[in-house]
Chains A and B, each alone.
Chain A
């Protein structure tokens, strides 16, 4: 466990050091993955399938807010729908506008959830979403998860109906619109998944806030069970053909992912829980304090202490003579090096220090 905690601290240090680079790179990779998935699932507008265009758009998204990525993803999907049929694109545009106007207004900061939900649904691992969102976000994110599920099913409907739409003539405008609207309103599977994910987010959120030990673990396991149970009930009621084994395996994977997230966000040591009680003029306080698990990261610093004169003297007198061992008096230059350099007679301090200055390092002289 100590090793894992140390790795976590190192990762945190690396992230804080290179945040300016890592964040745009992560956004670029996400945008590239989202646009590529969108192109591979639909791909009706062949001009957009060009990798160069995807790279340019992903690069643009990497330096812009996440909301812009959602807008680009919506625009690309609408462009593909337009290439398939203008009527489909119009219905898609209306659907996106209604989603934005009625739902997305309440949680504009959940752009990542709106992007990741259809992405993970496309890769058949959607069960991670409600549990992770319940752990990390608030109940208003139910709207974002629902919107993401809706977008996934809309794209799936378009791809499934593409062959029928292509067979229809230019004059079948109303038939095309009817096909898509019927597909949306009559999609029981979508409604069941939205309901299951919404309830799961709420349950996970409520449970992880409880002041009980292992609340995060209880929340994620209960959430996974609630999710599977609602999906099974929906399957029984509406015969939506949800794969039971897929839901169970997906939920197990979701719990595993949630445990990893818990390790990074809420790693506490319940064995050292303290309960204290005190009072002031107005209140009595009953406080339960659970310490976080942290270990200081050890950093190895090699410090060379030698004076320029000694170095010069050592160089002049050659290798046959014993050299100055370094004065160590603080007059010499201090450098950081990881490699000893021959027999020039320098003093090297290898210091294994703790980043938080706990003082249990050691010194070694050579």
Chain B
């Protein structure tokens, strides 16, 4: 005998698993600290690559003035400035990623809790029918 409530619940859960749930299940497989650390690490790598690209463009853009003043400019001060910008970029991007991934983890966990409650409900519906 078909149980309408059970079918509706299963359809909703299947739709969740197919869409938003897939990403949430992936996030839910991690411990909170592991997930956030992995995201921050990825972001740091991305930020380093992005900074290098922007720095390369900056060098090409200012190539002629840099070459002209190469022997007159304070190279140590220039390197210090570049490093400050580098660490500021990477650190700020890391902090933003930390905040976003913390929020995403909490949201995914909340959503998964609802999903697991539905699983329990489905299980109880099966038990009732037997």
Q: Which residues of A contact B (CB under 8 A)?
A: 91, 94, 97-98, 101-102, 105-106, 140, 174, 177-178, 181-182
User: Which 7 A-B pairs rank lowest in CB-CB distance, beginning with the nearest?
Assistant: A101-B46, A101-B50, A94-B53, A98-B50, A181-B61, A102-B50, A177-B60
Known A174-B63, A174-B64; contact A105-B57, beta-carbon cutoff 8 A:
no
Task: Please report which residues of chain B, range 11-61, place their CB below 8 angstroms from some CB of chain A when the two chains form the complex.
Answer: 42-43, 46-47, 49-50, 53-54, 56-57, 60-61
Q: A102 and B64: CB pair below 8 A?
A: no
Q: Look across to chain A and name the residue whose beta carbon is closest to the beta carbon of B46.
A: A101
Interface of A is mostly: helix
Q: B57 and A181: CB pair below 8 A?
A: yes
A231 → chain B, closest Cβ, in Å?
27
Q: Which residues of B contact A (CB under 8 A)?
A: 42-43, 46-47, 49-50, 53-54, 56-57, 60-61, 63-64, 93, 100
Determine the chain B residues whose CB is within 8 A of the CB of A106 once the complex forms: 100
Q: B100 and A102: CB pair below 8 A?
A: no
Q: A97 and B61: CB pair below 8 A?
A: no
Bound-state Cα–Cα, A109 to B93, Å: 20
Bound-state Cα–Cα, A321 to B64, Å: 106
Determine the chain B residues whose CB is within 8 A of the CB of A177 once the complex forms: 57, 60-61
Determine the chain B residues whose CB is within 8 A of the CB of A178 once the complex forms: 61
Q: A91 and B57: CB pair below 8 A?
A: yes
Of the residues B53, B60, B63, B93, contact of A97 by C-beta under 8 Å: B53
Determine the chain A residues whose CB is within 8 A of the CB of B46 once the complex forms: 101-102, 105
Determine the chain A residues whose CB is within 8 A of the CB of B64 once the complex forms: 174
Q: Look across to chain B and name the residue whose beta carbon is closest to the beta carbon of A87.
A: B60
Determine the chain B residues whose CB is within 8 A of the CB of A91 once the complex forms: 57
Q: B57 and A94: CB pair below 8 A?
A: yes
Q: Look across to chain A and name the residue whose beta carbon is closest to the beta carbon of B58.
A: A181
Q: Look across to chain A and name the residue whose beta carbon is closest to the beta carbon of B101.
A: A106
Determine the chain A residues whose CB is within 8 A of the CB of B53 once the complex forms: 94, 97-98
Bound-state Cα–Cα, A101 to B52, Å: 12
Q: B54 and A98: CB pair below 8 A?
A: yes
Q: Look across to chain A and name the residue whose beta carbon is closest to the beta carbon of B43.
A: A105
Bound-state Cα–Cα, A97 to B60, Å: 17
Bound-state Cα–Cα, A174 to B93, Å: 30
Q: B60 and A174: CB pair below 8 A?
A: yes
Q: B57 and A97: CB pair below 8 A?
A: no
Determine the chain A residues whose CB is within 8 A of the CB of B61 once the complex forms: 177-178, 181-182
Determine the chain B residues whose CB is within 8 A of the CB of A105 once the complex forms: 42-43, 46
Bound-state Cα–Cα, A150 to B71, Å: 37
Bound-state Cα–Cα, A101 to B64, Å: 29
Q: A102 and B60: CB pair below 8 A?
A: no
Bound-state Cα–Cα, A101 to B51, Å: 10
Determine the chain A residues whose CB is within 8 A of the CB of B63 once the complex forms: 174
Determine the chain B residues whose CB is within 8 A of the CB of A94 once the complex forms: 53-54, 56-57
Bound-state Cα–Cα, A31 to B87, Å: 40
Determine the chain A residues whose CB is within 8 A of the CB of B54 once the complex forms: 94, 98
Determine the chain A residues whose CB is within 8 A of the CB of B57 once the complex forms: 91, 94, 177, 181
